[in-house]
């Protein structure tokens, strides 16, 4: 048991050393967008367990964050990064901006878990807060588990007061998983690298201001559009 505890503690230290200090390269960003496309396709592949297209259609923004790692041994933490898109004035999805999710916690917890996360934002106000600085789920806006299934329409579940709906696909084992208290933040360095611009903001990306959208990003938007109804 003592050896197991030591191994878990070492694993957590390595996890956070790697995730918070490793430089992000252009190939990492391309891979992350491709992962996000796969996550969206996989989650929508089973109609009975997918995000209702009616909810996607009414959303202002969607974040897809693949492979969010949570590790813990008394002290715990979460880290991952992915992409965020918003609805444009033409009711189309924007190019993706990169975001990160982080959190820390204290309490009974042990294990390491990888989770693919999708966040559906109902309105612009939460995204505006994210673009202006760090945004905390559950504190700056209510978050709730989203309804599933194509049969779910604009009914009771979707009319709840939550500003953000979450969907996840987990691998591994962990006790007490929750996104509340997690912070979302724009990854400016990744955006600069991916769009090959020294100065670029998330708003520039969302509004397509003087940017060239890479093909892999266009494929992500195409995939998301495929699962969004216009009815």
Domain that holds residue 122: 2-226
First to last CA, the chain: 57
Q: Classify residue 53: in a domain, yes or no.
A: yes
Residue 159 scores a pLDDT above 70:
no
Q: Classify residue 66: in a domain, yes or no.
A: yes
Q: Classify residue 55: in a domain, yes or no.
A: yes
Mean of the pLDDT values across residues 165-187? 79
Mean of the pLDDT values across residues 137-164? 73
Per-residue model confidence (pLDDT) at position 112: 75
Task: Write the pLDDT tens digit of every residue in 57-96.
Answer: 889 999 999 999 887 655 667 899 999 999 998 999 999 9
Per-residue model confidence (pLDDT) at position 33: 98
Q: Classify residue 192: in a domain, yes or no.
A: yes
- Relative to beta strand 143-145, strand 164-172 is parallel
Q: Classify residue 74: in a domain, yes or no.
A: yes
Q: Classify residue 231: in a domain, yes or no.
A: no
DSSP letters for the chain:
-HHHHHHHHHHHHHHHHHHHHSPP-HHHHHHHHHHHHHHHHHHHSSGGGSPPHHHHHH-SEEEEEEEEEEEEEEEEEEEEEEEEEEB-TTSSB---EEEEEEEEEEEEEEEEEEEEEEEEE-SHHHHHHHHHS-EEBTTTB-EEEPP-STT--SSTTTTSS-SEEEEEEEEE--SS---TT-EEEE-HHHHHHHTT-SS--HHHHHTT-S----HHHHHHHHHHHHT----
Residue 155 scores a pLDDT above 50:
no
Q: How many domains does the chain have?
A: 1
Q: Classify residue 18: in a domain, yes or no.
A: yes
Q: Classify residue 175: in a domain, yes or no.
A: yes
User: 118 with 102: CB under 8 angstroms?
Assistant: no
The better pLDDT of the pair 156, 101 is held by 101
């Amino acid at each position: 048991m003592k050896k197991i505890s030591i191994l878990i503690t070492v694993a957590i230290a390595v996890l956070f050393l790697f995730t918070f200090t490793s430089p992000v390269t252009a190939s990492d960003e391309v891979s992350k967008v491709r992962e996000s496309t796969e996550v969206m396709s996989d989650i929508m592949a089973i109609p009975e367990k997918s995000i209702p297209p009616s909810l996607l259609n009414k959303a202002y923004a969607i974040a897809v964050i693949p492979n969010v790692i949570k590790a813990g041994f008394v002290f715990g933490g979460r880290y991952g990064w992915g992409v965020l898109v918003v609805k444009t004035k033409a009711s189309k999805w924007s190019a993706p901006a990169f975001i990160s999710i982080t959190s820390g916690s204290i309490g009974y917890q042990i294990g390491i878990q990888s989770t693919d996360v999708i966040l559906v934002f109902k309105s612009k106000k939460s995204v505006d807060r994210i673009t202006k600085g760090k945004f905390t789920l559950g504190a700056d806006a209510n978050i709730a588990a989203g309804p599933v299934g194509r049969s779910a329409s604009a009914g009771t579940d979707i009319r709840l007061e939550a500003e953000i709906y979450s969907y996840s696909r987990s691998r591994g084992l962990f006790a007490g998983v929750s996104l509340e208290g997690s912070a979302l933040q724009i990854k400016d360095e990744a955006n600069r690298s991916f769009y090959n611009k020294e100065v670029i903001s998330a708003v520039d990306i969302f509004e397509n201001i003087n940017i060239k959208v890479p093909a892999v990003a266009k494929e992500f938007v195409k995939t998301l559009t495929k699962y969004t109804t216009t009815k």
